[in-house]
Structure 1
Amino acid sequence: MSNQTDRRIVKSQNAIKSAFLLMLLEDGFDKITVKSITERADISRKTFYLHYVDKYDLLDSIVNKQLEELGVICEQKKEKGFIEGTVIWFHYFAEHQAFFAALFGSDSTVSFRKQLLQFIMHQLSLKLHRIRPEKDAEVILKFLGMAVLGIVESFVLRQLTAGTEDIARQVGELLEQNIANASVE
């Protein structure tokens, strides 16, 4: 019986997430309601609330999954050079462009930006080993993190004209230069 229950839970969650993602791409986050999700997923509101508190909780769940995938990519690209690794990272954003564009295009997804910024800053902190005494690691991480977040946002919203590889290489070079400048030799 517990196997059946587990399958029903997974089925409900998949239906909710699928409906939400389709609506996110079609209508944007701001227009989505719990009622519209449940209608599209063909489930009751009670079923929705068994799994999520509200649409923001659902969004956080989906964003966390995306950040987990990015984390795996970051682990895999450790063997690559800094610039090559950045190219791989930007290809991920290119593959999921519609999803990220929908999130960046919404006024209501501040938590997404914060989560992505924290993720970027954490990944950058792994590259900053020994900071020069006159430099403030927090300022450097925030500066570089905000810069990367801004470029990623412009990239997924297609506000940049260069190709994925060119943008990624430039970002990788800039990060590499700034990290080298802030670090003790």
Structure 2
Amino acid sequence: MGDRRSIRTKAAIKQAFLSLLSDKMISKITISEITKLADIGRGTFYLHFEDIYDLYREIENEMFDQFNRFYDESFPIRDRHDIILFINKLTDYIYRNKALFRMLTNPEDGLLTPEKIKQFFKQKILQERLQEVKSPNKPTPMEETESLFIASGVFGVLEEWVVRGMEEEPAGMSMRIQQLLLKLEE
């Protein structure tokens, strides 16, 4: 029983934090604001997190875990359907977590940076490429460059989408990215 309550409390804390993050930079958010919005005491917050940045790190780790799941469910790429599946999941996730991804547009926070996400996807793409050619060796400079190019391009488009306020629906953004990726195959 206590475990479920703990899970609900952590979820309430995270939701309150993300709600505040919609309007404020992380450096301006206080624990008092989080606890008031989550309807918990300060002591309860500190039972779960050391500080706001510990809370943020947990949310960021969950985000990268989710990216890993999306990637693992969609790869290896066997056909266009697998690319579509991955991009759809990614754009939907970003859209549902607007507050978190708006941090990308605020360099003052400096936590969730475009570079972190690009590097994550570069490594995933590189790993995929090496598995395709069944190479246990270190990637070639061309493989490194190709992976960075794809990751930077896809994430650059997503970053611009976030900057513009995600006015376009995830499905439309996903379709444009898919079309660009398919053009690269030609």
The TM-score, its normalising length taken from structure 2, stands at 0.71
Residue in structure 2 matched with residue 127 of structure 1 by the alignment: 128
Unaligned regions of 5+ residues in structure 1, if any? 178-185
**Kept after mapping to 2: 8 A contact 1:91/1:164:** yes
**Higher RCO (C-alpha 8 Å, min separation 6):** 1
Match of 2:88 in 1: 88
CA separation of 1:86 and 1:17: change in aligned 2, threshold 3 A: closer
Aligned pairs for 1:1-185 within 5 A: 3-4=1-2, 6-78=3-75, 79-81=78-80, 83-85=83-85, 87-93=87-93, 95-96=95-96, 98-113=98-113, 114-129=115-130, 135=141, 137-158=143-164, 163-173=172-182, 176=185
Structure 1 vs Structure 2 CA RMSD: 3.2
Check the 8 A contact 1:23/1:32 in 2, yes or no.
Answer: yes
The whole-number CA distance in structure 1 between the counterparts of 2:86 and 2:177 is 6
> Counterparts of 2:4 and 2:165 in 1: how far apart (Å)?
42
Give the gaps of 5 or more residues in structure 2.
Answer: none
- The structure 1 segments of at least 4 consecutive aligned residues displaced by more than 6 Å after TM superposition are 159-162
Q: CA shift at 1:23, angstroms?
A: 1.2
Residue in structure 2 matched with residue 182 of structure 1 by the alignment: none
State the secondary structure of the residue aligned to 2:141: coil
Aligned-partner Cα distance in 1 for 2:157–2:20: 26
Aligned partner of 1:181 in structure 2 is none
Output the CA distance in 1 between the equivalents of 2:96 and 2:79.
22
Pairwise CA distance, 1:22 = 1.3
**Are the structure 2 counterparts of residues 65 and 174 from structure 1 closer, same or farther at C-alpha, using a change threshold of 3 Å?**
farther
Structure 1 pair 85/176, CA: closer, same or farther in 2 (3 Å)?
farther
1:111 and 1:30 map into 2 onto residues whose CA distance is 10
Aligned residue pairs: how many?
A: 173
Aligned pair in 2 of structure 1 residues 110, 140: CA closer, same or farther (>3 Å)? Answer: farther
Q: For residues 140 and 121 of structure 2, what CA distance do their matches in structure 1 show? A: 23
